[in-house]
Structure 1
Amino acid sequence: MRIDLCCVGSRFNMYRNAIALLYHGLVGAGHDVTVSQNQIGNAALTIIVPPMAFRVPGLVEELRRRRQPYVVLGIETFDGFSHGQSADAADDVGAFRAFFESASAVLCLFKQDVERYRAISPQPLWLRYGVHPQLEEVADLPDRPVDVFFFGDVEPYPERRRTLQALRSAGLVTDVLDGSSQAPHELIRNARIARAKINLNLAHADHVSPQRVVYLANNRLCCVSNTVPDADGYLTAAHPVISTDRMVEACKAIVADGSWRRLGNEAYDRVSGWTMVETLSAAIDQALVR
């Protein structure tokens, strides 16, 4: 089947890990796959990323006119309008409902979203984020001069700032690539990831980001994470701790005893069965049955 992965908006790099995972999974399942941005093609099925695409003027009408099947990838915990928010005065509720009601399915990366979408989507489906050999792309450096690396927005989140400062104060060499909302190219990010013994997941909401923790495990990298609600089991890909103080202690111990490589390999072993070829094949087959 000809499938087009279309990222709508200006944040392709922000969603790049998920788009690449779906691309390789679908190709591995035998589909003819293209990737596009802000342009709906003539594929037999279009997968649209992210759900906020309904805000683009004319998109909903264009999809309705073409009558081609499409599904929406629910890439973050989402109530349809914005991450964790309801509609604001600028939202067209009619376009919002038409976008989701006309979709063949919404593929939800989080179980909690399935019920949220059920009222507006004919078929919300849980799609567990997984692994693929083509996403094993971070260089395996024998020597890593950085103890801890974090990639993400820092300034809006006081707890992230406090944690990073605590790590520095404990004497750990801590590197931060701020500004994930500006979405730097993955090679810029991955070159920094590769230099670090430990990569951090500092969740600021009630879910774990699989684009981060599962991706790191896919690359056999040690990820230390704070603990948040995780109905999907994504923390399986990380080394979770329950507090900032414990995070500092855990990072110091891992750096001191050199266990970061072992922990990364063990994380990979725990998620290696989450293969996206089979997962996506089943989801696409179900999405097209209406």
Structure 2
Amino acid sequence: MANFRGRTFLEFMVKLNIAHIGSNDWFNFKADIVYGLYHSLTALGHEVSMSHNQFFTGVHNVVIGADWLVDEAHLQHIRQTEAEFSIYDVECFDGKTINQRAGFKIDNYLELLNMSRFICTPYRYNFQAYEACGLTDKAHYARWGFFHELVSPNINRRAAIQHDAVFFGLAKGERQVKLNKLVEVPGMRLRTVDNKSPHMSRDYYLSSTRYGLSLSAGAGEQFVNPFRIYLMSANGVPVLADNPRDEDGYLDFTARGSLEDICEFFADPQSRFELTGSLADGVRLADELRPLF
């Protein structure tokens, strides 16, 4: 990271644009990330804008969804416009591919990473992969953390309980198998909120559930999605998690166990788990981002 008399290079740049790249569905899935950055960077005193599938000129673009830019036409456009950007990477990068995709254009992606001013990730796993690719000087690790706007006025934990558990996110593959097993628990009232559901319905279901779920996507999962966990925990929804790996400490506010443990938990009407501690007393996202922005 370039410094000028001890100051980070973005200290003099107050105009930032959070550029989400991807489909409308992916914007909805990543809205918690987009708005987390928006609120936290604004809290640091920056003038922040947002865009969808568009870079702004005359500002520093913070890209979410850089893996959508690996086609040669996108790279050529970035080369020609010389747009200034950094990458906020929330996908699983192992140095060879993103999210274990076959045929991923890794050479183009590495070129994109090298064109960026810097790369920031909330995952130690990704940070280690960047180092292995020779990107030590560009890569930075910053934990996801609390910001005041995480607490949603639309989530009312005094609402009548209508569900035992809610899962929101991509429900496919091994996750769908797990959800199917949970549905089989006698008396289980499970609600899944995915890309087929109205996006804003999520807050209502989190209002009316006993618990939230963080379910591993399978053996290839290398880290925990903190955005789901932090949203629920910040709004008073206790989270049950079966994620096996957590180098980043994102499961500290959850009850961890296997899927079988979770099924047994719901099979016993006397089972209880309550939140202890407060996210607001822990890591703040703005503090994590401050050294970069």
Shorter-chain-normalised TM-score: which range?
A: 0.7 to 0.9
Aligned to 1:199: 212
Q: Tell me how many residue pairs correspond in the alignment.
A: 270
Q: CA deviation at 1:155?
A: 4.0
- Read off the aligned partner of 1:147 and give its amino acid letter: D
Match of 2:145 among 130, 134, 156: 130
Q: CA deviation at 1:218?
A: 2.0
- Read off the aligned partner of 1:29 and give its amino acid letter: L
Aligned to 1:7: 20
Q: Distance in 2 between matches of 1:103 and 1:2?
A: 17
CA-to-partner distance for each residue in 1:194-227, whole Å, 9 max, x for gaps? 2211011111123211121122112221110003
Contact 1:97 1:120 in 2 (8 A): no
Q: Distance in 1 between matches of 2:259 and 2:38?
A: 36
Q: TM-score, normalised by structure 1?
A: 0.83
Q: TM-score, normalised by structure 2?
A: 0.83
Q: Secondary structure at the match of 1:237?
A: coil
Aligned to 2:284: 275
Question: Which runs of 5 or more residues in structure 1 are unaligned?
Answer: 285-290
CA-to-partner distance for each residue in 1:119-146, whole Å, 9 max, x for gaps? 1534111121111111211412322211
Aligned to 1:229: 245
- Read off the aligned partner of 1:225 and give its amino acid letter: A
Match of 2:226 among 189, 199, 210: 210
Report the aligned-residue RMSD: 2.4
Aligned to 1:106: 119
Contact 1:129 1:276 in 2 (8 A): yes
Q: Distance in 1 between matches of 2:72 and 2:196?
A: 23
Aligned to 2:63: 48
> Counterparts in 2 of 1:68-217, with a 5 A limit?
68-79=83-94, 81-85=97-101, 87-88=103-104, 91=105, 93=107, 95-118=108-131, 119=133, 121=135, 122-137=137-152, 138-142=154-158, 143-157=160-174, 160-177=176-193, 180=194, 182=195, 186-204=199-217, 205-217=221-233
Question: Which runs of 5 or more residues in structure 2 are unaligned?
Answer: 1-13
- Read off the aligned partner of 1:235 and give its amino acid letter: L
Higher mean Cα deviation, 71-80 or 53-62? 53-62
Q: Which has the higher helix share?
A: 1
Higher mean Cα deviation, 102-111 or 65-74? 65-74
Q: Secondary structure at the match of 1:236?
A: coil
